Amino acid sequence: MEYRKIGNSDLEMSVITFGAWAAGGWMWGSTDRNDAINAIKASYDLGVTSIDTAPIYGQGDSEEIVGDAIKGISRDELQIVTKFGMRWDLAKGDFGFKSKDNDGKDIDIYKYAGRESIIYECEQSLKRLKTDYIDLYQIHWPDKTTPMSETFEAVSRLIDQGKVRYAGVCNFNAEQLKEAGQTLEIISNQIPFSMVNRAVEDKTVPYCIEKNKSVLAYSPMERGLLTGKITKDYKFEAGDHRKGNKFFTAESIEQTNAFLAKIKPLADEKNASLSQLVLRWTIDQPGITIALVGARNAMQSVQNAEAVNVKLTVDEIEFIDFELKNAGF
Report residue 107 CA to chain centroid gap. Answer: 23
Residue 300 included in any domain: yes
Domain CATH number, residue 177: 3.20.20.100
Residue 230 included in any domain: no
pLDDT attached to residue 27: 58
Residue 249 included in any domain: no
118, 151 contact by CB (below 8 A): yes
The separation between the first and the last C-alpha atoms of the chain, rounded to the nearest angstrom, is: 29
Domain count, the chain: 1
Domain of 143, in residue numbers = 3-225+280-310
Residue 259 included in any domain: no
pLDDT tens sequence across 218-256:
999 998 899 988 887 777 776 677 777 788 888 888 999
What is the set of active-site residues?
57
Query: Quick one: angle between helices 274-283 and 298-305, nearest 10?
Result: 50
Residue 39 included in any domain: yes
Residue 179 included in any domain: yes
Residue 246 included in any domain: no
Full-model pTM:
0.93
> In the predicted model, what is the mean pLDDT of residues 261-287?
97
| H/E element, 66 | helix 61-69
Name which of 106-120, 229-243, 255-269 the model is least confident about: 229-243
Residue 275 included in any domain: no
